[in-house]
Amino acid sequence: MFTFDYRIKLLLALCVAAVVASMVVGCRREHDEYIEGREQAERDLDKGEFKIAYADGTNTPAFWQYTELLHRRYHIDWCSYSLPINRPASEAWVRGYNEVALPRVEQEVGVQTLKQVMSDAQKLHDIAITNY
């Protein structure tokens, strides 16, 4: 009976260790992606490229109209980042990128301008839906 009890405890301890290890590795990956996103934004800005990042699969209202208007009016582009098996790490990259890039974009065109472009994009989106 002692051996069986010992095996269960050992198995339980190994399972807990595996869960903790995967959480630590997952958090580390998110941190690494966050830093990489920040660094990529710095590289893009150093080249004079203004972009806003989105995680792949992000459901932003009027996304296509918004990004098209930003590009056409202000030469602001977009980029996406995807890690299908690790969405939190992908979102961390985007968060890091935008924490660096968005203040520079807002400084370049103004916060109100971005809000106005989103409003214009929503109107275009609504018209496209209505005419569809």
The pLDDT profile of the chain, 132 residues, written as one tens digit per residue, is 445 575 666 565 555 544 444 444 458 999 999 999 999 999 999 999 999 999 887 777 799 999 999 999 999 999 999 888 899 999 999 999 999 999 999 999 999 999 999 999 999 988 877 776
pTM above 0.85, yes or no: no
For the chain, the structural domain boundaries read 2-131
Alpha helix positions (H), the chain: 2-46, 63-74, 87-109, 111-131
| pLDDT for residue 21 | 46
Using CA atoms, how far apart are residues 11 and 97, in angstroms rounded to an integer? 41
Answer for the pair 66, 117: CB distance below 8 angstroms, yes or no.
Answer: yes
| pLDDT for residue 122 | 94
Within a 10 A sphere around the Cβ of 50, how many other Cβ atoms?
Answer: 21
Alpha helix positions (H), 47-110: 63-74, 87-109
